[in-house]
Each structure stands twice: as structure tokens, then as C-alpha cells.
């Protein structure tokens, strides 16, 4: 819904470039429980555990509550949690 069509197109391209699937094995489930213990909702914690398992560079969310909580406990997570605007700003900084 970004009104800036350049940023919107770049974000869509970035999202479409992801093609890795993560199996929900016991390690991911256990890690999800650990993440849930710091106060992150069940399905969000499983998504974060999957991102960690895939060694993702970042985890994007538009959920402000998840974003704040994940950043508060960033030292306990193995993946950076950003919103799409922060992601685009970081990509722009790294391109120049």
C-alpha cells in the first residue's frame, strides 16, 4: 500500500525473490517455545523460529506490537526484525 511506486515495486521484487521452505521440525518447535516465553505470540514465535532456522537476513513485519517486542528482546533472537520501511531504508543505504 506504499504510495511510492518505486519503493513498492522494489519491495514486491524482494518478497518474490524468497523461495526457501523451512520444515517445522522438533528444533524449530522448541525454538518457537523459547521465543514464545519472552512474550511473543505463538504463531509469531514459530515464524521467527523458522526465519532463524533458515538463517534469514531479516524478518519483516507490519505488526507494530511484534516489532516492538522483538526489538526489545533482540539479543535473544537470531534474526533482525524490521518493518518494510526500515528494510527499504537499509537497502537504499547499502546501495549507495
DSSP three-state, residue 65: helix
H or E element in which residue 7 lies: helix 5-16
Grid cell listed for 71:
526489538
Q: What is the mean pLDDT of residues 72-94?
A: 90
Q: How far is CA 29 from CA 33, 58, 64, in A?
A: 6, 20, 24
State pLDDT tens for residues 29-48.
999 999 999 999 999 999 99
Is pLDDT larger for residue 2 or for residue 57? 57
Composition of the chain by helix, strand, coil, percent to 5: 60, 5, 30
Task: Give the predicted TM-score (pTM) of the model.
Answer: 0.80
State pLDDT tens for residues 4-25.
788 778 777 877 777 778 888 9
Amino acid at each position: 500500500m506504499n504510495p511510492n511506486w518505486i519503493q513498492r515495486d522494489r519491495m514486491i521484487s524482494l518478497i518474490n525473490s524468497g523461495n526457501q521452505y523451512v520444515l517445522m521440525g522438533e528444533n524449530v518447535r522448541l525454538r518457537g517455545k523459547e521465543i514464545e516465553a519472552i512474550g511473543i505470540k505463538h504463531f509469531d514465535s514459530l515464524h521467527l523460529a523458522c526465519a532463524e532456522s533458515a538463517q534469514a537476513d531479516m524478518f519483516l513485519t507490519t505488526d507494530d506490537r511484534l516489532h516492538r517486542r522483538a526489538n526489545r528482546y533482540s539479543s535473544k533472537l537470531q534474526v533482525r526484525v524490521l518493518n518494510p520501511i526500515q528494510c527499504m531504508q537499509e537497502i537504499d543505504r547499502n546501495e549507495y
